[in-house]
């Protein structure tokens, strides 16, 4: 299974929360840095991932998620698919 992707700087608290959940379920993941200084979070590419232009954003194959409220869903899905 391809590793899931988490978009955002790993030092961000909200990104770290996603990473903690992924560690908890033992999922393979890749952190894709988003350069805040370069306003990469407002770029057209990132707005596809998160229309609010915020981090974190989460990708599992074709599934794109944003918003911390989606975390339990995504982590449960990952747990069940292992």
Ligand X SMILES: N[C@@H](CCC(=O)N[C@@H](CS)C(=O)NCC(=O)O)C(=O)O
Spatial distance between the Cα atoms of 22 and 37, rounded to a whole number of angstroms: 27
- Integer angstrom CA distances of residue 57 from 12, 22: 12, 13
Give least dist CB 3 to ligand X, A: 21
Which of 51, 67 has the CB closer to ligand X?
Answer: 67
Which of 29, 66 has the CB closer to ligand X?
Answer: 66
Give least dist CB 50 to ligand X, A: 8
Task: Catalog residues that contact ligand X under the rule CB under 6 A.
Answer: 12, 14, 41, 53-55, 66-68
């Amino acid at each position: 299974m391809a590793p899931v992707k988490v978009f955002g700087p790993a030092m961000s608290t909200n990104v770290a929360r996603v990473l903690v959940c992924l560690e908890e379920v033992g999922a393979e993941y890749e952190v894709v840095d988003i350069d805040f200084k370069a306003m990469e979070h407002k770029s057209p590419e990132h707005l596809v991932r998160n229309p609010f232009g915020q981090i974190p954003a989460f990708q599992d194959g074709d599934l794109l998620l944003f918003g911390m409220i989606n975390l339990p869903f995504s982590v449960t899905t990952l747990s069940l698919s292992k």
